[in-house]
A = this chain, B = another copy of it.
Amino acid sequence: MNDRSTASNSRDAVYAAALEAFAEKGFHGASMRDIARRAGVVLSNLYHYADSKSDLLVELLKKANYDHLSATEWALTGADASPRHRLEAAVKAYVGYIVDHPMEALIAHSELRYLGDDDRKRLVMARDRVEALFDGIIEDGVRAGTFTTSHSRGVTRAVLTMCAGIAQWYRQDGRLSREDIAGEYADYALALVGSIHD
């Protein structure tokens, strides 16, 4: 039992160390040696968890993307059928994840460009599913006539990048609470889709 829990703790420690190193120094600035040191494992041991630095970044972002998707999907299971309420719930959950995981959100946006095409492909599935989820809600609202945007194809991207920007400026000790920000960005998303009360 001890062996297992140690293995799982080391794995978590490695990914936590990689996250911290990538956030602080960027993909190219972070070294495997530095990540091993932060994780408290010897360098050769680090390769037990990932074949390369790219692998670490891919696995880290894959987990972050799926957690982000999952948090958003979970919020929707509690929302009623109105596109307005669904969009509100989805944006609040999406923003909540960013506020709770600013390092993951930062890296997902700034370090993705250093990955090769094959590695990127390993990451698109969760991202595509998040986009499809928002596209679906927005299309439903447009079809029902409660969302009036004429840019149903681009507005999801505008909503998601606007939310991603929060990771750039959010500070835990700032003026706005997690709930303030989630509510404010839900209002922005409703404005962007041209929501009228339903």
A184 at the interface (CB under 8 A from B): yes
Question: In chain A, residues 156-175, which have Cβ atoms closer than 8 Å to a Cβ of chain B?
Answer: 157-158, 160-162, 164-166, 168-169
Interface flag for A45 (CB, 8 Å): no
Q: Of the 9-residue stretches A26-34, A67-75, A115-123, which lies at the interface with chain B? A: A26-34
Binds B, one of A81-89, A138-146, A188-196: A188-196
Nearest residue, chain B, Cβ from A187: B151
In the assembly, how many copies of this chain are there? 2
Given contacts A110-B110, A191-B149, A191-B194, contact A157 B169 (CB under 8 A): yes
Instruction: State in angstroms the CA–CA spacing of A106 and B161 once bound together.
Output: 13
Q: Hey, which chain B residues are within 8 Å of A28, CB to CB?
A: 25-26, 28-30
CA distance A160 to B188 in the complex (A): 13
- Which single member of B25, B164, B191, B194 contacts A165 (CB below 8 Å)? B164
